[in-house]
Copies of this chain bind each other. A is one copy, B any other.
Amino acid sequence: MAKALTRREENYSKWYNDLIIRSGLAEYSAVRGCMVIKPYGFSIWEKMQSALDKMFKDTGHTNAYFPLFIPKSFFSREASHVEGFAKECAVVTHYRLKNDPSGKGIVVDESAKLEEELIVRPTSETIIWDTYRNWIQSYRDLPILVNQWANVVRWEMRTRFFLRTTEFLWQEGHTAHATEQEALDEAIKMLDVYGDFAYNWMAMPVVKGTKSPNERFAGACETYSIEALMQDGKALQAGTSHFLGQNFAKAFDVKFATKTGALEYVWATSWGVSTRLMGALIMMHADDNGLIIPPKLAPIQVVIVPIYKKEEQLSLINEKAFEIKKALEAQGISVKYDNDDSQKPGWKFAEYEMKGIPVRIAIGPRDLDNNTVEVSRRDTLEKTIYQQTNIDIKIQNLLDQIQGNLVQKAANFTDDNSRTANSWQEFQTIINEKGGFVYAHWDGTAETEQAIKEATKATIRCIPLKNKYHDTGNCIYSGKPSQQRVIFARAY
């Protein structure tokens, strides 16, 4: 039997890394900070992509594809964008290699230097708005509702599986609108799409809110985010949606003729979620036995394992197992039957628990006699004997139950770890001893935000759009008046 996983209580960070390796989600590559997303990990990401893509299309968006490279000068066009984005990035300076004259491998051909360096996109606002200039002449060309699935590169100094890697996969929506209100509505609409996806597919309740000016996307007038609480009491920003005002339209000179013939700058949004969601999914639900994948995102929802001693028992079990598999698949349930005879059932049980398969069905000779199966659910580890009659309906119901239980459990956890703090002393105690979301009054200044961060490592996660607390009060740090509580937490 393989060594048990590091326990969460013992070392949360090591547990997270071990789990990713052991469950076959990903591994680090030969390239600093870049990971390989292994087949099992990628199959979960595909499920996420597919659900999100449908939600984007159902809200009127279409996909397109823009270049990987962005001319360096583009980043200087939007003043705050360059500060936030164009610094830590991969720079392409040459377009050719040649044989090393000394015969040792290959070297950069210095004669093939680019006139202007190209940046591997860290995000695509600049190249996309440079393109939109050609697409938009009149109000009839608006809105443009485009999304792109792509890889992006940000040269991170400290990397962590899924949460922060040099290259990552994401989608970035980039929309163009005739009015400010329409762009604001779009930004909120996509924030809601992200919130719905997190809740309904990932079983992950989130708080929706606006970021403090300090934490805004570089180039945005307003940044909205969904924030989720992980099992260790740290917050994770799981998706963002930005109202960009006319900033990029002005930087790239994108104007449109209104119905009355006036020329106006176009209004913009952008919004994105990334493979970071994989990290959120893991940290939200997994336990000391391994992953727990919500049924709606599980590439394999049910695994069937035969329990037998003699070869002739297996052939009888095979027959029944394939029958059950077929019945489940007819309901749209994805099933793996693992009758590999080179591994023992105990090993398989541990393996599929590690991989987080929502439901395991074990069938032994006694089950054949009794017309039963043993059903084990991953979320609670409970085992129950089921009669085989209507097994498809029963398992479908169980999967729904598991999905519901996971989101309920996560919601309870988030509620239990959302606290108010009404004094600086209380705030520090909660942050240091309990973690979680702390709802506290803030005076609205960047100075106070920074001072609190330096003292406690807690940052303002968001100013909730629907605040569960409606009081006014005084800033926990400065004592100045405050109109509403904001959420503080230590964060990933």
Contacts and interface: CB of A to CB of B under 8 A. Distances in A.
A85 to B, nearest CB: 10
A95 interface: yes
Given A91-B94, A97-B91, A127 B39 contact: no
A34 B155 contact: no
Given A37-B65, A153-B68, A127 B93 contact: no
A380 interface: no
Contacts of A73: 105
Nearest to A29: B67
Given A37-B64, A67-B34, A105-B73, A92 B91 contact: yes
Interface in A82-97: 82, 86-97
B90 A86 contact: no
Contacts of A130: 29-30
Nearest to A91: B94
A356 B94 CA distance: 40
A119 B120 CA distance: 12
Contact of A106 (B69, B82, B105): B82
A117 B92 CA distance: 10
Contacts of A55: none
A335 to B, nearest CB: 15
Given A90-B95, A91-B95, A39 B66 contact: no
Interface in A36-71: 36-39, 41-43, 45-46, 62-71
Most central of A36, A62, A117, A118 by chain B CB within 10 Å? A36
A411 interface: no
B131 A29 contact: yes
A29 B132 CA distance: 11
A87 B76 contact: no
Given A39-B62, A65-B169, A89 B82 contact: no
A64 B342 CA distance: 26
A98 B96 CA distance: 25
A140 interface: yes
Contacts of A87: 96-98
21 contacts: A30-B74, A30-B130, A31-B67, A31-B69, A31-B71, A36-B65, A36-B67, A41-B64, A42-B62, A42-B64, A68-B167, A72-B97, A73-B105, A75-B97, A76-B106, A82-B105, A86-B97, A89-B97, A92-B120, A120-B120, A140-B342
Which are the 6 A-B pairs with shortest beta-carbon distances? A34-B67, A76-B105, A37-B65, A39-B62, A91-B94, A95-B155
Interface of A: 27, 29-31, 34-39, 41-43, 45-46, 62-76, 82, 86-98, 105-106, 108, 117-120, 127, 130-131, 134, 140, 146, 150-151, 153, 155, 167, 169, 342
